[in-house]
Amino acid sequence: MNLQMKNETTDQMIRRSENQKTECRGRDLSLEQGYSELHQGLSKRTLMLPLTALLLITLVACGGGSTPVPDEHAQETPGAHGPEVSLTAEQVKAIGLITGTMEKRGLSTSLKANGRLVLPPDKSAQVSVLAGGLVRGIPVREGQSVTKGQVLATVENMEFLQLQQDYLETSANLLALNADLKRQQDLHDDRINATKTLERAQADADVARAKHAGMAAKLRVFGTDPARLSAQDISSTYSVRSPITGTLQHIAITLGQFAEPNIPLFTVVDNSGLHIDLNLFEQDVARVRTGQKVVFGHAGEPVGQHSATIYAVNKAFERDQQAVLAHAKLDDNGEELMPGMYIEALIMTDSTSAWSLPAEAVVSNGDEHYIFVEDEPNTFKQVAVRTGASELGYTEVVPLEAVDPNATIVVKGTYYLLSELTKGTGEHDH
């Protein structure tokens, strides 16, 4: 009787164990065979197991087939896809996240070079006087725009006064000599005077004509038109005029001061002729040629604010340095650009067509570079990339895993996504 009850109790336990075994997922074939052998042994009444041992086997079988629940903030290990960041619509709006797509652009590999802004000789002028004198007027101011021929100063000079007087006297004398030459020519034609007399009259007229022409040229140097000069127009002052159109950079004279010849009184510059002199090292000279584009910036601004074009490369090294000058003409003359400024430039040497993104779309973490691709709405997957050439705010990107060229990619807000991913918040695991 007791043995029958025990057998019935054992059969009930086996049935409960088989039910639990059915509910437990993932157990292997060895466990199922173990249960089968256990059931056969108990049916033949050849094996009695304590209740505690049977329960232990059941728990172990269930535990072995279960799958642990991952921590929802655990970072994914590298696999088929990278880590992801999920944002709410409010977060997307708050950080100003913007998406776009990769573009096929022509990018150029660049060569770094330093240089400075300079003016060609015909765009800068040092103005001085030919004849010394007292400064009687300065009608201009530093920084003022002036035109070619505009009066910069008036200078009083007695030699200029004498030159005008001599010119008028020579003009009058030349008229008389020309008239006398005509008479002598007429008399000679009538065989009344000697040939020698005609020759003397001719020589006197030629000498006077030469003096008259020389004095006229001197007056033009002083800015006076000889054809308009008369006795009533004689003046002791002459005007110092600007030889070019530009900006009056410096005035080195004051009223009443004696202006010395050949000492610069004014400096006029025309910044429309600005160009860049770039220093090329010996190993880089072969990469630079005329027609290549240059982007540059001066101190305090990033490279790429201005552009220029190489128009000449020197054929000899500069004195005391192993460098060759390359000359580039500016494409735009910003008012902030001035002669003498030191600049940093990138010379675009080789062009290639490549998939690219705005530079802001690529973030770095140590030596690795990443972009974020929208995997689901407001869920962005981190994708490792290799970067290439950069130009005018765009960077070549080569994803290290398959990315659809039309995929939606974050172009603004990537640093926020990287920070969220780094600190482990907002990640989305699959």
Nearest CA to 370 among 332, 327, 422?
A: 422
The predicted structure's pLDDT at residue 16: 56
Contact, 314 vs 278, CB < 8 A? no
Return all residues near 175 (Cβ < 8 A) that are at least 6 apart.
none
Token pair recorded at residue 234 = 């004689």
Contact, 293 vs 309, CB < 8 A? yes
Contact, 83 vs 76, CB < 8 A? yes
Contact, 381 vs 410, CB < 8 A? no
- Cα distance between residue 401 and residue 403, in whole Å: 6
Return all residues near 197 (Cβ < 8 A) that are at least 6 apart.
184, 187, 188
Return all residues near 238 (Cβ < 8 A) that are at least 6 apart.
133, 154, 155, 157, 160, 222, 223, 224
Token pair recorded at residue 229 = 């000069």
**Phi, psi dihedrals of residue 265, rounded to the nearest 5°:** -105, -30
- Cα distance between residue 268 and residue 145, in whole Å: 9
Q: How far is CA 186 from CA 172, 174, 179, 354, 355, in A?
A: 22, 18, 11, 91, 93
CATH class of segment(s) 84-105+352-423? mainly beta
Looking at residue 315, its amino acid is K
- Cα distance between residue 337 and residue 275, in whole Å: 10
Q: Which residues of 352-386 are buried (b: 16+ CB within 10 A; e: fewer)?
A: eebbbbbeebbbeeeeebbbbbebeeebbbbbebe
Q: Taking the domains of the chain in order of start, what are their residue ranges?
A: 2-65, 84-105+352-423, 158-235
What is the pLDDT tens value at each position of the chain, 430 positions in all? 443 444 444 455 545 555 554 554 444 444 344 444 434 443 443 333 343 333 333 433 444 443 333 333 333 333 345 688 888 888 888 889 889 888 887 776 778 888 999 999 999 999 999 899 999 999 999 999 999 999 999 999 999 999 999 999 999 998 888 888 888 888 878 787 788 888 888 898 899 999 999 999 999 988 888 988 888 989 999 999 999 999 999 999 999 999 999 899 999 999 888 899 999 988 888 889 899 888 888 877 777 778 899 999 998 888 877 889 999 998 877 777 888 889 888 888 877 777 888 888 898 888 889 999 988 888 899 899 988 777 777 888 889 988 888 899 898 988 888 888 877 544 444 3
